[in-house]
A and B are shown apart, each in its own frame.
Chain A
Amino acid sequence: MKYHILEKDQLECFVRSLSKKMKAVGPVAKGHNNYAFEEVTSASQLSLDYIPTILPPKKYFMPNKEKMIDFDLGGKTPSAQAALECEELAIMGVHTCDLAGIQCLNIVFNERPRDYNYLLRKEKLFIIGVECNKYCDEYASCALVNSHLPNGGYDLFFTDVGDRYVINVNTQKGEDFVESVGLDKAEGRDLAAMDKIREEKRKIFKNEVDIDPKKLPEIFDKSYNSKVWEKVAEKCLSCGNCTNVCPTCYCFDMEDFINLDLKTGSRVRTWDSCQFETFAAVAGGENFRGERSMRQRHRVYRKFKFPVDKFNRFFCTGCGRCSRTCMAGINLKEILKEVAEESKF
């Protein structure tokens, strides 16, 4: 493991160097305790001490609208070309929960048949993580799924140790950049300071729902017909906010857009939501998840049950966004507590 240090008063120089090299984005305060990943050229724009952004960095990995095909109907026979839109981009200040989210998406899109649009775009992204020394707010459940500590998934990773950042260099790409900026190597006292932060974190970050995560698959095995889903459905408005802001929700739709010349156009991948009423409907009229309770259960199962069976990991990163954004006050931690309680009987 290689570590460097960055004095806090050098952060400005670091951000400027980075944004000169490539487009750089990071968490920016939007008021009312909202944050969003946006382009930055100066450290003064950044808010590295922030609660999870409205949208996770998945918007750079899997854009909300992503062109997959360019077509031209003007010729003798229609022609189509597969398209890829991507650019070199540095994402600064990614929390460990969001790093875990990106790792989940990587697994999904690496599964055969591989999604090359995603995989090629990912290679252009330079990821700089940042450690949370304390909880963002009461919605987080990162300790439950063990995403409060760094588990890879970044090029560089910042830990705030007071007057400076200790930077863990995880890739050659990261190494090259650190060298180009000329950062000093971390010394023993810096690493000791980092260890102390981690020690402190052990006291602060505690399993937020008091359920042994190893028991969760078993709990969900028993919860398919739980009353919780009906209860949640009574509140749910099927707005799809929870899935839009989720760092591991990747369900999509394909839409065709035709240009004003009525000849050329494109096929675009857009985010979709399993919470929408017609998500599982077929043209013949049958709707296979027509009830809200089924759709809410589906969402939670896609975080705690199905991916455990398939990939041996939770697809919940504990970021708390779904609960934070829900207009109806549906709270994931409450759901987990209730199904756990119910499964005891």
Chain B
Amino acid sequence: MEIKNSNWKSRKAKIINARQMTVSEKWFDIRLEDGELDHEPGQFVQVELFGVGEAPISICSSPTKKGSFELTVRAAGRVTREMHKLDKGDNIAVRGPFGKPFPVKTMVGNDLLFVAGGLGLAPLRSLINYVMDNRREFGKVDILLGSRSPKDMLFGNEISEWQKRLDVNFACTVDRGAPEWKGNVGLITSLIPGINLNPERTYAVVVGPPIMYKFVINELLKKNISERHIVLSLERHMKCGMGKCGHCQIDHPKNYYCCKDGPTFTYDEVKDAKKL
């Protein structure tokens, strides 16, 4: 029997562009058959490969970009490895968008400090590009970027654009340098003390691997940024996207479902979690 109002119905889409970005990350530009994805910065979709399964992937493009949306996918699991075999012209399906977006409205009028580690740049890019397209609404903008090595750096072209812009301060570092690399070498935390910021009116948005949060947040607190002004996007296995399947529930007294109550949280909300 067919069911009309199933939550598991997917939206058909076509890959209109794809590019291998690094050894393990591939970028996809995707157009939905039924119109715009209608997402907000920080949300995610469930990518559906029938016969293989579903995987939650952060949307890396800003909603200000119309006609299609972008995903950056690391080949890490069964579905994502299979997805890397797809290319321009291939069919795909998604469910979503899901999740609580970054608190863009409350950030308006404030200075912004973006801290991205590795693939964390993907979800953060949806917000960074949104801010770039609405630049007048925000104060000073700093972007800090950390990668394992120069060849792991994502969105190279865009990064050079950000470096050129006069309304953005950009700095990046790599954990391990390379012969041709002339930039910073060291952890991303080493970039924070040098930032000149007004803690009263700064929102810090931090996205990276779980190990990064503790150290970055420590540096931000030293700068007197309030816990409510530190915004994170947490990683969990968000299997259904609807706050039901239980996989993404955070080990926290407040019973958060990462897919529905997050993935974006203020540090104040999740500081009691066993792991960020």
Contacts and interface: CB of A to CB of B under 8 A. Distances in A.
Interface of A: 68-69, 71, 73, 77-78, 80-86, 108-109, 111, 113-117, 120, 221, 224, 250-256, 258, 265, 267, 272, 274, 279-286, 288-289, 294, 298, 301, 305-306, 309-310
A224 to B, nearest CB: 6
Interface string B86-130: 000001010000000000000000000000000000000000000
B239 to A, nearest CB: 6
Interface string B58-83: 00000000000000001011001000
A117 B240 CA distance: 14
Given A78-B93, A288-B236, A289-B251, A265 B50 contact: yes
Contacts of A81: 2
A224 B240 CA distance: 27
B245 A272 contact: yes
B237 A71 contact: no
Interface stretch (B3-11, B151-159, B185-193): B3-11
Given A78-B91, A224-B253, A251-B246, A73 B7 contact: no
A184 B52 CA distance: 57
B274 interface: yes
B255 interface: yes
A275 to B, nearest CB: 11
Residue from A69, A115, A283, A305 with most neighbouring chain B CB atoms (10 Å): A283
A267 B80 CA distance: 17
Contacts of A258: 51
A268 B161 CA distance: 45
Nearest to A84: B3
Nearest to B77: A283
B54 A254 contact: yes
Given A265-B51, A280-B237, A288-B251, A82 B246 contact: no
B242 A113 contact: yes
B7 A116 contact: yes
Nearest to A274: B246
Residue from B209, B237, B246 with most neighbouring chain A CB atoms (10 Å): B246
Contacts of A254: 53-54, 239-240, 245
A116 B5 CA distance: 7
A77 B93 CA distance: 11
Given A108-B244, A252-B245, A73 B3 contact: no
B97 to A, nearest CB: 13
Contacts of B245: 251-254, 272
Contacts of A116: 3, 5-7
Nearest to A289: B251
A115 B244 contact: yes
Interface in B17-55: 48, 50-55
Given A78-B91, A253-B239, 13 more contacts: A73-B51, A82-B8, A108-B244, A115-B7, A117-B3, A254-B240, A265-B50, A279-B247, A280-B251, A282-B237, A284-B74, A286-B210, A288-B275
B110 to A, nearest CB: 31
A284 B73 CA distance: 12
A111 B93 CA distance: 25
Given A280-B237, A283-B76, A83 B3 contact: yes
B164 interface: no
Given A267-B8, A284-B209, A111 B50 contact: no
Contacts of B3: 82-84, 116-117, 120
Contacts of B274: 288, 294
Contacts of A224: 253
B88 to A, nearest CB: 15
B142 interface: no
A272 B246 contact: yes
B95 to A, nearest CB: 10
Given A113-B7, A283-B77, A85 B1 contact: yes
Nearest to A273: B246
A99 to B, nearest CB: 22
A280 B236 contact: yes
Contacts of B51: 71, 73, 256, 258, 265
B1 A83 contact: yes
A71 B52 CA distance: 11
B254 interface: yes
Interface in B207-223: 209-210
Contact of A309 (B7, B239, B255): B255
